[in-house]
Every structure is written in structure tokens, then in C-alpha cells.
Chain A
Amino acid sequence: MSALMIRDLHKSYGGLEILAGINLEARTGEFVALVGPSGCGKSTLLAMIAGLETVTSGEIWIGDRLVNSVQPKDRDIAMVFQSYALYPTMTVRQNITFGMESRGVPKAEQAEAVKRVAALLQIEQLLNRKPGQLSGGQRQRVAMGRALVRDPKLFLFDEPLSNLDAKLRVDMRTEIKKLHHRVGKTTVYVTHDQVEAMTLASRIAVMNQGSVQQFDTPKRIYDRPTNMFVAGFMGSPAMNFIPARLTGSTSISVRAADGSDATLALAAPLPTGAPKDVVLGVRPEHIYRFTADLKSRKPAVQPLQAPVELVEPTGAETLAVLRLGDLEITGRFEPDDAPVMGETITLGIDMSRACLFDPATRALL
């Protein structure tokens, strides 16, 4: 059974269309991430699921109930906000019990629930403090506690980590993942950070300009992006896009640094009806230094000459900017085996992992 089902959802303000026909579903216990650049409509979509925004047209089902016109409090949801939205004049305990008090839950039951959630999130010692006396990470926990205490059907997170510094964000990300494993609640998580989406979600909906570009598992989204937007948005450094020409049913040619054409054999034949001009998409980590050993391990690897323009060591890996025609592409190398600046390297491009796109429709071929 799906915990959340969205059918052909539209939202517009006046003449401005924010969401254009969203279809989405989350199975019970699933962690769905909505990811996209700012202004893509992901937060509006979340607010509509929560009932904080009205529906222009379409259907939202939570469990087996159509909730289009149900009040937020009756939707059986809990939400964690980007600003945490903790009630500043109440103590942590009061923040957590406010919802239960509003719904008239008996005092003893409230105390029991607070104890359970505080233990789960390790915030027992903070219960009598005010939000102003807490650090960012502690506020984050309290906000999650306030959501958890409801025991809702659906958890909604609206960019909950974007106010934290980089180190804490990684820690809290891990904690959210652990927490989800422990409580197993269906979760919809909005973020603009593709790494967060990749690490947390069981399925990701990549959104752009008010529509879902692709809704799939993180691995499928990363390996087989349906179009150039998804390919470019997911992954850092971004996928390299190289214009290429079909030279046969199983080979393409690209313009090399010296202006000559280099032919690359495809790992699998293209479907018939593919355009003559294509875009070759290669992730930086699928570019290697070409060796005979590599070729024997990865038969689909194709050699390509390229001068090294710039080298950026990051410690764990070394990024190299490589010249290809009038294009710069990025390759990711082992630090021990990294190219040096000025060198002309023979690259091995793993064609079995490469994607081909139609430059006109920007869709995957």
C-alpha cells in the first residue's frame, strides 16, 4: 500500500504555474527525497502535502484518504521546518507537548511520549531549556522530536539541514538516516542538496520548473538519468557533456584537442532512429588513465588523447581539467596516479557507463 499518492497535481498563483502535473507516490516506510534547484516547486509541493497550500487541481492521497480539503492537523502528518519553527517562548518540553495539548491528550500520556522521544533523540537534559539556549544541532533534534512525538503516518522535512554548518550537516544526515531505520516512517524530504538526496532516500524525485524530471532509485538516477537536466544536477563535479557524431551504429566520433576527430566504440548499439548528432555524457569518475591492464579489466574502455590544463588535488581524489576540442572536461583520478599539469594524457573512457543524449530533446537515447 502506498502511504502517499499524488495524481496530476497542479498549482498556480494567478497565471503563474508553479507545479505542472506532478505524479508521485511513496510506499509505506519509504524515504522519498524531492530534490531540485531553488524555485523548482519542491517546497510548494511539500506545503501542499502538508495542507498549508491549497490544491489548484489534482489529488493528494495520504493512506487511503483523499486529503485535498482536509485541514493540516487532520492529515496525520508531522513536519520539520527549515527554520525549525520552534516556539521561542516555550521550553523544549512544551514545544514537544504543544501539539498533544492542542488535541487534548491526557497529561500522563503526554509525559510518557515526551520521555520516549527524548530518549530516542538523546535530548533528556535539554527538556527545560528554551530554544534560544540551544545550539543549531540541538534545535534540529528538538524539531524532530516535536514531529516524532505525533507518531504520524507521514513525515515531512523541508530542507532541515540547510541552516547547519557543513560538518554538523553530515552528522545530522547520518542521524536522520539512522532514525528513519529505527522508526520506519514514510518520509518526504525536500532538499536542494543532491548529496543529501542520494545518501538518504530510497527513491528520489528530481524536479525542475514545476515538474518531476525523474522519479527513481538513487542508483538509477545516477547511472541512467533520463535527461541532461537530471544528469547535470545529480553528481558533483557534474557529468561532462561532449558533443559527438554517429559514425556507425556502434561508434561515435568526438573532436580531440588538436582538432582531429577521435572515434570511440559504443558499449551497446544505439536504437534505430537515433539522431546523427548526439551528446556523450561521461561522469568524471568514469575517466581513467588508459593502460593495457585497464583495458583487460574494463573491455568497454576507449582511448582518447587530451592535454591536462589544471590539476586540483582534494586529498581523497585529484580532479583534472582536460582539454577536448574547445571544451573542458573534468576527470577524477587516484591521487597516486594523477596526471600532472601540461602533460598530454591518454584517457580511458568507460563507454559502458557513458550516457548518450539527444541534443534537441535533451532526453536519454
Chain B
Amino acid sequence: MSTHDLTVPVAAPSAPWRQRLGTMVPILVLAPSLAASFVYVFVFTLWTLYLSLSSSSLMPTYGFVGLDNYASLWANRRWNIAYTNLFLFSGFYIVGSMAIGLLLAILIDQRVRGEAVWRTIFLYPLAVSFIVTGTVWSWLYNPVDGIQAFVRGLGWTDFSFALTANRNTAIYAVIITGIWQSSGFAMALFLAGLRSVDPDLIKAAQIDGATVSRTYRKVILPTIAPIFLAVAVIQIQFAIKTFDLVAALTRGGPGVSTTFPAIYVYDLMFQRGQIGEGAAAAMMMLAALAVVLVPYSLWIVWRRRAEGRNG
């Protein structure tokens, strides 16, 4: 730049201009996505919060009604089922897919033959969309031409497998399908974690006389603890926005037994024209997420402080 200044005298003021451009470019490049994130996340969240306190029905209106929408929401049995389902599903789905994913990862980590093939097989469900998964599994669960019909065809004529036909068990059909879909994903992350562990650690544990299971419990798994957290956080947001899987698998039924908050919000807002109450339900979903993530971030801050004190 300085040689340029020497040869072209008028270019002298161009140096600060260029410098300013240099510092502006990153901001200019980031601005659109920052603005979009700000509008979609914060502005729309606040707008939804406001709508949830308004008397909006088919179209947004701004008559303030306080917490009426929340009261009528919680008075509704279907919403209570949906909210319970959300916690039931999230708990089983996250714990189940992490447990199965971890087990698969540990088994594959034993240097099995044809590792790439196994990895691909277990990872494939993730490549299938929730709609396809839901549809295929709805056929499998269907008593008339699914697994039950197949096993009965083999000769076990009193075999019964009709999870989706019963309002008490249908939610478990959704949970099983969700676990099937995402345990391969958990496996891939866990496997990457297991492979990143210093092999000397395992040798040291071997010399220390630790059994294989003790080596995993005390040495390897604690080392990859951050991966557990990453998997859990990704699964939680999958779980909370569950919509298409249920829509394709059970359509919220039988009855209202597998209704999920996301489905309920969609119904209220776009089918029944109750935007105010729909917004209230959406805020409750946000609250469910906050219940998990706020303590988590507080814990992170606390731990960092604690480590700072010890260090």
C-alpha cells in the first residue's frame, strides 16, 4: 500500500478509506445474516409473546387480554396430553438413542471387521426424512399388513404387535421410531469421540489392571463427556420440534394420544384460527426448551468459575 502512496500522490487519502473498507467488509458480509437472525429469533419471539397476550383469532389483533389464552390452553385436555407427551418423548428418545448409539459405537470401536459397512448401515436412517420414516414405520406398526401380520403369517397366530392401535402405547411407537432414526447419528458422534481418545490412556489403564468395562466407565467415557452434551443438546431440539414424524406415523392419534405441542400449535394457528392461543402454546414450547437449557448454561458458568478458583 505504501509504494502505491509514493507513486500516486492523490492516493494519499485512499489509504484510510481502504483501511476503513478492510474493517467494514466483515461487518457488511455478516450483516444480512445477523439482521435475519435478529428479526427471526428476537423480533418474532417478542411478537409471538405479544400475540399470546392478545385476543387474536383468525388474524393478529392487538386487544390485550392478559393471560386468558394461557388459562384456556391449560384448561384443554388435549394440550395437557401434548405437553406430557413432549416430556415423555424427549426423555425416552434422548436417553434411548444415546444409550443405543453409545453401545453401537463401543461395539464398532472394538475394530470389528467391515467397520465402514456397519457405520453406514447404522447412519442411514438419518439420511431418511422424518416423513418417510414415519410412513414406513406406520406400515410396520399396522396390525393388518405390518410386523404383526408377518409374524402371524409365520405361524404364531396369537402374536400381537399393535402399538399404534392402542392409545396407551401409541406414544411408545413414536419413541421407538425416533430412537431408530437418530441412534445412528449419536453413534457417529460417539465413535468419533472414542477414536479421539489418546491410545496411551487405554494402554495405561491396561497396565493399571483395569477391566475393559472399568476402562470405559472411568477413563474413556469421562474423557468424551463433552460429546454426550453435544448429542443431548442436538437431540433436545429435535425432540421439541417433533412434528413431521408424528404427522406421518400416527397423525396425533389414536384419538389425541400422540398429539405433540408442535402439532397442536399448527392446529390452533392455521386450522382453527386461534392465533392468540396458538402463540401461547408456542411460548410454552419455548419455556420447555428454557427449562433444560437455562440450568445447563448456568451450570457451565458455575463450573468455569469453580475451575478458575482451583486453577
Contacts and interface: CB of A to CB of B under 8 A. Distances in A.
Contacts of A146: 204, 208
B222 to A, nearest CB: 4
Contact of A79 (B207, B210, B310): B207
Interface residues of A, number: 28
A52 interface: yes
Contacts of A85: 198, 200-201, 203-204
B211 to A, nearest CB: 7
Which of A72, A85, A146 has most chain B Cβ within 10 Å?
Answer: A85
Interface stretch (A19-27, A98-106, A225-233, A259-267): A98-106
Determine chain B's interface SS by DSSP, over half rule.
helix
A50 interface: yes
A136 to B, nearest CB: 16
A148 to B, nearest CB: 13
B195 interface: no
A99 B209 contact: yes
Given A72-B206, A89-B225, A102 B200 contact: no
Please classify how large the interface on chain B is, using the bins under 10, 10 to 19, 20 to 34, 35 or more. 20 to 34
Contacts of B206: 52, 71-73
Nearest to B207: A72
Interface string A130-142: 1001000000000
Interface in A136-192: 146
Given A85-B200, A88-B223, A133-B310, A102 B209 contact: yes
Interface string A102-121: 11000000000000000000
A98 B205 contact: yes
A81 interface: yes
A103 B223 CA distance: 22
Contacts of B201: 85, 87-88
Given A89-B222, A98-B218, A102-B214, A82 B200 contact: yes
Nearest to B209: A73
A98 B208 contact: yes
B208 A99 contact: yes
B232 interface: no
Interface in B188-226: 198, 200-201, 203-211, 214, 218-219, 222-223, 225
Interface in A79-95: 79, 81-83, 85, 87-90
Contact of B311 (A99, A102, A133): A133
Interface of B: 198, 200-201, 203-211, 214, 218-219, 222-223, 225, 310-311
